[in-house]
Each structure stands twice: as structure tokens, then as C-alpha cells.
Structure 1
Amino acid sequence: MEGKAIYAALQAVQRDLKAPKGQYNSFGKYKYRSCEDIVEAVKPLLNDQGLILTMSDEVIGVADRVYIKATCKVIDVATGDCIETTALARESLTKKGMDDSQITGTASSYARKYALNGLFAIDDTKDADTDAYKQQTSGSQTSQNRPQGAARQNATTNTHSAQQAANGGADAIRTKAIKSLNAEISRMGLTGQEVSAIAGLKFNKVSTKDMTTNEICQLTNNLETWVFEQTGATA
């Protein structure tokens, strides 16, 4: 191992690492991997490559919210070279059944998991081709492709012209809301199945096609907190 480039060593770890989703969320009925799952799977590979892993947290404030910034670092024991990644998770203001330290611990575990994902090239978005994800995002295409019908055919009248303009504005707002939701889903590395489970619990709907624009906005704004609620401190 002496003299081996850290990038080559990390490449070997990324190639051989298998970190399946070994945890099951009984509320949302989906599988997920925890921070502990990743660490347990990667330790033997790091040892084989002469690397060690360290994880640390930093509490930072953004506006009026508190975030946990997790840093995950691999260090070559022979050379001292290192590679690190960071990730952020926002603390929930409150969480039923948890004291302040447990809320911080949940955010720490969540941030560390996604820092590890980046460091070891674990792709949590690969399930975007599943039926659940297509169902989740189908609302965007429906809004964009929906015909105007009678409003378009009778656009010569003031009443119908005004209605068409209103519909167009509502569709634009809805499309923007869905884009914001998809961006948040991508940022958090969630699958369509996971998001659909949260939407089902909160709104009894699993597709944006069936959700109101206001519900989509609520889901976007609260997604991180609601995921914390369902996955717990090991998510």
C-alpha cells in the first residue's frame, strides 16, 4: 500500500462497495440505508486499501434556522493525503417524542449519510425510473399538455379570454411548484417511492397529479422535516 495514490485507493473502495438498503420504514413502507449501514459495509474495504474514515459535525446558522454540516474524510495512513465531502441537514424546530439533543442527532446522522454518499459515490437517485417516481412527477406533464378546450375555442370573447389567462397563470404556478419539489427531491437524494410514501401519509395522495398546488408547496417546504419524522435518527 505504501506510495499508492489515495485516488486509486478510493476508486477501488467505490468499485467494491455494496451498501444495500437494509432498513425498513413501516410507516412509509419503503427500504432505506442508514449511515451505520454504509459505515459497516465500507470499513473492511477501507482497511484493505490502507485508508481510514473520520466523520465530524459543525453547527451553522442560516437565516433563523440551524443546520448540521457533516464532513466525511478518508485519509491514506501511509501518506497522510485525504479526500473529504460535506453535506447539510436542517434541524427540525420540534419533533414529537424527541428532546433537543435527539433532534440534533437525527440531523447529524442524516447529513453524515449524504456526505458518505458523495464520498463513496452511492447513488440514491437511481430509482428515478421506477413507476412510483413516474407517478410522482406525472402531474408536471399533465399540466403542461392539458388542452384549453372551450376556452381556447372561444377566445374571441372577453370572458373566455380572461378565463384562459387565469388558467395559464395557474398552470405556470403549478409547474413552478412541481419543479421546486423535484429539485428538493434531487437535493435530498430521495426516491419516488419514498416521496410518494410521505405524500400518502400527509395528504392521502401519492401523485402530484392528484395534489393541489398548495399541497405540492407544503410537501416541498416540509419534506426534509417529514422524512426525519418517518426515518428516525438512523435515517
Structure 2
Amino acid sequence: MEVYKKLLEIQTGLKAPKWQENTFGHYNYRSCEDILEAVKPLLKDQNCALVICDGIEHIGERYYICAEASLIDTETGDKVSNKAYAREEESKRGMDGSQITGASSSYARKYALNGLFAIDDAKDADTDGFRKQTNGPTKAEQAADSKKADEINDKFAPKKTEKASEDQVKEIQETCFATGYEEAKILKAFHVESLSDLTSIAAENILKKLNERANAV
């Protein structure tokens, strides 16, 4: 059917970057709105319309939001659809009933779109990423993240004994010339024979002081 050919064109052409950032799980993700924004130009090119609707279904003892995303060929009226479900939480801290339903609806709609347009999203409900997104990381994960951040900082931060770079030395010389400050005073104060003997940390502090001096003039 022609509608499936158009769906194929949309699936292969759709690019929906993960613009949203989750500060708890330290990862990026895409929202339902991101997908809709990315797919609209492709819908226009293929003369298709997208309709999303959802409703509440009672299954067993729980309520579920069932979302259905339908791609409709405006030239023939043919359509192809995909459904996705999201279970409502009985309660969630800081959210009232309508907010819980709304969050479940957004989740269900997003995954209905994912299935329709063949979007792979690893942050599903049964993954660590989704758990972090909804509940935040555990204390053990927080400690691991903190340790990892410290290791990265230790790797890239200048060491106390690391020598000043050529750029730092050049900048100090140029700033001394511009402000009229004597380079010899710096050498005497830091007990070094040349600026290249300074540590990176010392050079950074000197530049800070020289810039403060320049701004005060």
C-alpha cells in the first residue's frame, strides 16, 4: 500500500536528536515533543497527517494509558497505526492525579511514535536509564558518579607541580608590558629565575592578579 511506502520514507529520513538532558542520570534523551517537531516537515513532504490519541484502560487491578499514533495518507485515506501502553503510578511524590496521568500519557505517546517511526530508544522502562530518570540514581550510583568525576578532574586539571605553558608565559609577559608591571618583581616573589620555571597554578594566579590590576587602572 502507498501509505507504507510513505512511512518508509519518513522512517529513513527522520532525525530526532536527543535535545533533553537528564541531570540525575547524566544522559540525553528525546521527548515526545522532540519527535513531533522533527517529523512535521517529513509529513508535509509525503502528504501525510499524524494523529495521536490516548485513553484509559482498566487491566486487572491497575489503570493503563493506551496511546495510538496513526499515520494517515491524505491522498488515499489509508493509515497505519501503532499502540503503546504506560501504567499509571498509584502515587508519585510531588504530583497530583492529573499530573500522574499526564506523565503516563506523554510516555505512552512517545513510545507509540517510537514504534511507528522505528525510533530506537534505550531509555525504556526496564532499563537503568529510565529508573534513573524517574527515581534518580541510588546512593551507590551517586558515589560512583562522584568518583568518576574526580578521576576525570584529576586527569585533566593542572597538577601543582606542572610547569607553566608557553601560552601562559607569553600572556604574562604581554600583560606586564601592557600594565607596566616589572617582570623581575614576579621572579623575585616566586623565587624563580625565569617565568617558564613557574608552575601552571602560579601562572594562573599571576595572570588573575595582573588582570585585576589592569582593570583597576
Answer whether TM exceeds 0.5 for this pair.
yes
8 A contact 1:56–1:72 mirrored in 2: yes
Look up the SS of the partner of 2:75 in the other structure. Answer: coil
Specify the alignment match of 1:89 in structure 2: 86
8 A contact 1:59–1:68 mirrored in 2: yes
In the alignment, does 2:42 pair up with 1:106? no
Partners of 1:200 and 1:85 in 2: how far apart? Answer: 30
Distance 1:198 1:80, change over 3 A: closer
Deviation digits for residues 5-63 of structure 1 (CA, Å, limit 9, x no counterpart): 11111100001100011100112221110000000000110110010000001101122
Partners of 2:72 and 2:93 in 1: how far apart? Answer: 38
Specify the alignment match of 1:201 in structure 2: 137
Letter in 2 for 1:113: K
Partners of 1:96 and 1:113 in 2: how far apart? Answer: 23
Partners of 1:58 and 1:196 in 2: how far apart? Answer: 27
The structure 2 residue matched to 1:51, chosen from 48, 52, 73, is 48
Greater relative CO, 1 or 2 (CA 8 Å, sep 6+)? 1
Letter in 2 for 1:119: L
Specify the alignment match of 1:121 in structure 2: 118
What is the RMSD of the two structures over their aligned residues, measured on CA atoms?
Answer: 2.3
8 A contact 2:56–2:63 mirrored in 1: yes
Letter in 2 for 1:106: A
8 A contact 1:14–1:121 mirrored in 2: yes
8 A contact 2:84–2:109 mirrored in 1: yes
Distance 1:32 1:80, change over 3 A: same
8 A contact 1:28–1:198 mirrored in 2: no
TM-score (norm 1): 0.55
Deviation, structure 1 residue 188: 3.5
Deviation digits for residues 192-220 of structure 1 (CA, Å, limit 9, x no counterpart): 555567787235248xxxxxxxxxxxxxx
Runs of 4+ in 1 over 4 A off after TM superposition: 192-200
- What runs of 5+ residues in structure 1 fail to find an aligned partner? 126-184, 207-235
Partners of 1:112 and 1:90 in 2: how far apart? Answer: 12
